[in-house]
Amino acid sequence: MIRIPYFVIIAIVAFNITAFTFLLQMDFLIFHSVVAKIVCWLLTIGAWTLAYVYRNKTFDIRTGK
């Protein structure tokens, strides 16, 4: 059985959301919306919160449980 911590899977997604939020916050993207920045920051906080909540759980690749 190959077991991967959920933290690894969620942290990869959370890091990508964080990078997108950073680019949006620094106005490197085409659109400059305050509402979009707020929504992206909330998504970032939520993603890292999920990574923290699932830090001790694992996912088995073969069985999917």
Position 36 scores a pLDDT of 95
Does the pLDDT value for residue 64 go beyond 80? no
Specify the 3-state DSSP secondary structure of 29: coil
Residue 31 lies in a domain: yes
Residue 44 lies in a domain: yes
Q: Predicted confidence band at 33 (pLDDT cuts at 50, 70, 90)? A: very high
Helices then strands, counting H and E runs in the chain, come out as 2, 2
> What is the count of structural domains for the chain?
1
Residue 65 lies in a domain: no
User: What's the pTM value of the predicted model, to 2 decimals?
Assistant: 0.85
Residue 24 structural domain: 3-60
Residue 35 lies in a domain: yes
Does the pLDDT value for residue 1 go beyond 80? no
